[in-house]
Structures are given as structure tokens and as C-alpha cells.
Chain A
Amino acid sequence: MTNWEWPLVFFTVLSQMAVGYLALVVPATAGGKGNHARIYLLPAGLLAAAMVISLAHLGHPENAYRALTHLGSSWLSREVLLFGLTFLLLVFTILVARAANQFLVRVTAVLALGSGLLGILASAMIYVLPARPAWNNFNTVLTFYLTAFLLGPALGLFMQRFSPGPAAGVEGSATGRALALLLVLSIISSLSYLSLLAGAGPEARLTVHALVASPWWWLRVVAGWLAPLGLSYQLYRKGHGSLALTLALLILLLAGELMGRALFYGTAVPLIEGLL
């Protein structure tokens, strides 16, 4: 566990949460209800924060604009373009919402969502590298989208309780059920991933050993999967959750995804390990 890559951990998780939140509020506000400028401020702010944090990963952040110059083959260039576009579209959505142009709001919000979803794909494809067997599989893409679709609704649910109105379509029981199902999918896919790695080459097996030997992995299992699963089920049964419950769910899921992402970066054993 040497390279935790914290700037990348926060960048990927926060940008995915922003897109997941968009995926929740764009359909929910399609009917034209709510204060759109206020709704889209949150994902725009989250995405902006994520992009600023990502600069900390660079040796020369002042030249970050150059990352747009190799779109032909670099997934990192494509990621920067797509998330940059998502942010600009969100800013535009806020501006046209203030001008009360509902049609343009819907169009730009849908475009922002599409660009954000493609941005997550680009983020994941950056790491699908044969030189890192732990990343070079479908699980990388699935994990990145699962982060978005777990954190987005959890954030939407909390915002609905915290400040009722903006995302009127977020309904407690349905969101609780969806979160519980996604958590089950996340647990099953992670177990499949571990068994896939255990049956692969020596570097992949080293990743499995590093994961199961890490206390952070077990903390992630308990705090990021099992506890939120219990809370989601409670939410599903009750039909609506208190502010404290939705906040606890959001914090646990966020902590779990951050730990999971740190482990993703920290336990990927490179092929060169065979020579060391």
C-alpha cells in the first residue's frame, strides 16, 4: 500500500457523485418543477471541486490545459474534455434557468448528464491497462459507475430532507430499495472480482493478498457495504427517512467509496513486480 493517490481518489469519487446526482435530478425535474438554478449548483460545485482537487495530482498543474491535446488515443484527455464540458453545460443550465427558459434548461441538463456519464466511462478506461492486471478488466468500469449510482441517490435523498423541494422526485422507499439492490450488486461484483484475480497471474494474486490483509478493506466491507445496506433496507421499509438517517447513509457510503477507491489505487500490483 504505497500509492494511495488521494487527489485521484477524491477527484474520481466526487466527480462520480456529481454525475450520479445529475442522473437522479435530471429525470426528476423533467416536468419543469423546482428551482433549477439551485438544483444544478450542487453538481456543478461538486464537479468543480473534484477538478480542482485533481490538479494536486500533477507535477505541473499550471500546464494542466495541455491535457486536452491528445484526444486521439488518450482516455485521460477525453476525461478532461468530457468533465470540462459537463461543468460548462451545468453553468449554462444555471444561467438559462435564471432566465426562466425551461426548454433550454432541459436540453442542457440532459446534455450535461450525457457528457458526465461518458466522462465516467473515460475515467474508468484510463485504468484499463494490461500493465496493471488488477485494473485490466470490466470491474474497473462497473465500480466507477456503481460509485456514481450509489452516491448520487444518497446525496439526493439527503438534500431532499435537508432542504425539501429541489429534487421533488426523490422518493424514500424507491431510493432505499434501489440503493439496497445496488449495494448487493456491489458486494457480489467485488466477490467475483476477488475470485477472478485469485485465478489470474501472480501480480493479480498479490493484489488479492494485499486487499484481504488490509484493515481498510474490512472497514470498507462493514462501513461501506453492510451498514449502508441495513440503513437502505430500513429506508425502504419506512418509506421515508429522517435527516439523521439520510445523513448517516450518505456519510457511510461516501466513506466506503473513498476507502474502496484508495484501495483500488494502492493495491494494483504492476507487471514489473515479476522482476523485482
Chain B
Amino acid sequence: MGKQLGFLVDTEKCIGCFGCEMACKNEYQAEVKPRWRRVYQQKEGNLPYPERNFMSLACNHCADPACLKVCPVGAYSKREDGIVLHDHGRCIGCRLCTMACPYGAPQYNEKEGKVEKCQLCYQKIDRGEEPACVAACPVGALELIKDLASFPGPGTVKELPGFPDITITRPSVRFVPPRTGIQIRRDAE
């Protein structure tokens, strides 16, 4: 295995505009569902201080992907650069990967009877371009990590409260955590 691509999600910069989600949708699908990239609002109860921030997540192109292991038709593969690809043509729509992925990345498309997920815009990557979501973020809250092994760690964390256990699949994502005590407004109960 060579390098491992990944995402850096800066929760300090993210303003929850959903621009990354829309850019992904514009690039690949017209339907409302599924949503390959999703912006989650952090649950206030997950943090020890009042805060309102967001976490933009898609497939984490894990080092040890559960989807790849459980798929009965071998529709998943991992490229040399770490991107986990899903072969749409091979999928039979058994949905086992949707159950096995801790992050809900593979999603079932009812209309097509198949699962689909973020492919990290591998065609763009191969052309030396940025993924659609990264290019679209207006505040630079989403970045592509070119090689996770040489990515500088200070100031970033591997998980945030509410994020599923990272030891299961070793997701290729890093976060800039929110700073303590900046309250924008409280969530409605």
C-alpha cells in the first residue's frame, strides 16, 4: 500500500452552509437521496460546553474498510492511493455494506436497487484536481490530505464526540476540533 488520501474537516471554520453536500450532488446525482456527503450538526450534549458546530462527512476511505470485507460480490476495491471504490455495475443491492459501515457511507438507492457512495472524485484526483466538495467549500473548512502518513498531527484529532469508534475501520479523516466556549446560539430543544 502506498499513500493514503484522506479528508481534513475543520469544525472551527465550517459554518454549516451545506455547500459541500450540494457540490457533491451537483457533480453526481440529481435525486434527493442518497447523500454521499452529509453535514451533521454536532449534538450539544456531546460536548462539555455550549457550542454549535458542524461535521461534514462522506466515505472515510478507511484503512481497513468493513464494506470491502463483507461485500459478497467483491464490488469494493482499494486503490494504491487509499481510495475505496465501489463498482456500481457489480453491486446486487444486498445492502450488507450499509449495515457494516460504522459511518453510514454506503447508501441504498431505492430507484436503482444498488448501493452507492463517495468515490473521492477519483477521476478528478487522477487529473490533479480537487474533489468537488473540497473545491466548493467557501470557507476552506474541507481539505484533501494528500498522504495521511506524513500529515502533521498538531492541532488535529482523529475523532470528535459522537463520531463512531475509529478502531473498527481506521477512517482516513482528521478533524480540527472546535475551540472551547464559543457560543453562537443554543439549539432549540
Measured CB to CB, the residues of A under 8 A from B are 57-61, 63-64, 66-70, 73-77, 80, 126-127, 129-132, 270-272, 274-276
| Residue contact A67 to B72, C-beta cutoff 8 Å | yes
Complexed CA–CA distance, A70 and B43 (Å): 39
Complexed CA–CA distance, A69 and B90 (Å): 11
| Residue contact A58 to B93, C-beta cutoff 8 Å | yes
Q: Report B98-145 residues with CB < 8 Å from chain A CB.
A: 99-104, 108, 112-115
Of B70, B92, B165, the residue contacting A75 (CB under 8 A) is B70
| Residue contact A76 to B164, C-beta cutoff 8 Å | no
| Residue contact A76 to B113, C-beta cutoff 8 Å | no
Complexed CA–CA distance, A271 and B66 (Å): 13
Interface assignment of B157: CB less than 8 Å from any CB of chain A: no
| Residue contact B92 to A131, C-beta cutoff 8 Å | no
CB-based nearest A residue for B73: A66
| Residue contact B94 to A57, C-beta cutoff 8 Å | yes
Interface assignment of B17: CB less than 8 Å from any CB of chain A: no
Complexed CA–CA distance, A59 and B71 (Å): 14
Complexed CA–CA distance, A77 and B96 (Å): 11
The residue in A60, A64, A68, A73 that gathers the most chain B C-beta atoms within 10 A of its C-beta is A60
Closest Cβ of chain A to B49, distance in Å, is: 18
Q: Which residues in B have their C-beta under 8 angstroms from that of A77?
A: 72
Closest Cβ of chain A to B21, distance in Å, is: 14
| Residue contact B164 to A60, C-beta cutoff 8 Å | no
Known interface pairs A74-B74, A130-B66; 15 further A-B residue pairs with C-beta atoms within 8 A, sorted by A's residue number: A57-B95, A58-B94, A74-B71, A76-B70, A76-B94, A76-B96, A77-B72, A80-B72, A129-B66, A130-B165, A131-B100, A132-B99, A270-B99, A275-B162, A276-B40
Q: Which residues in A have their C-beta under 8 angstroms from that of B71?
A: 70, 74
Q: Which residues in B have their C-beta under 8 angstroms from that of A69?
A: 72-74
Q: Which residues in A have their C-beta under 8 angstroms from that of B96?
A: 74, 76, 126
Q: Which residues in A have their C-beta under 8 angstroms from that of B55?
A: 275
| Residue contact B73 to A129, C-beta cutoff 8 Å | no
Of A60, A73, A74, A271, the residue contacting B92 (CB under 8 A) is A60
Of B92, B94, B99, B112, the residue contacting A129 (CB under 8 A) is B99
A-B contact pairs, 13 of them (CB 8 A): A57-B94, A60-B113, A61-B92, A69-B74, A76-B70, A76-B72, A126-B96, A129-B70, A130-B165, A131-B164, A131-B168, A271-B102, A276-B40
| Residue contact B69 to A73, C-beta cutoff 8 Å | yes
Q: Which residues in B have their C-beta under 8 angstroms from that of A70?
A: 71-74
Q: Report B2-38 residues with CB < 8 Å from chain A CB.
A: none
Q: Which residues in B have their C-beta under 8 angstroms from that of A272?
A: 102-104, 164
Of B91, B99, B113, B163, the residue contacting A274 (CB under 8 A) is B163
Q: Which residues in A have their C-beta under 8 angstroms from that of B108?
A: 59
| Residue contact A67 to B94, C-beta cutoff 8 Å | yes
CB-based nearest A residue for B104: A272
| Residue contact B101 to A131, C-beta cutoff 8 Å | yes
Q: Which residues in A have their C-beta under 8 angstroms from that of B90?
A: 66
| Residue contact A59 to B73, C-beta cutoff 8 Å | no
Complexed CA–CA distance, A64 and B66 (Å): 21
Complexed CA–CA distance, A75 and B102 (Å): 18
Complexed CA–CA distance, A234 and B159 (Å): 57
Complexed CA–CA distance, A270 and B66 (Å): 14
The residue in A57, A69, A74 that gathers the most chain B C-beta atoms within 10 A of its C-beta is A74
User: Given A59-B113, A131-B100 in contact, is the A275-B70 Cβ separation under 8 Å?
Assistant: no
Shortest Cβ-Cβ A-B pairs, 4 listed? A59-B93, A59-B113, A271-B164, A76-B72
Closest Cβ of chain A to B47, distance in Å, is: 13
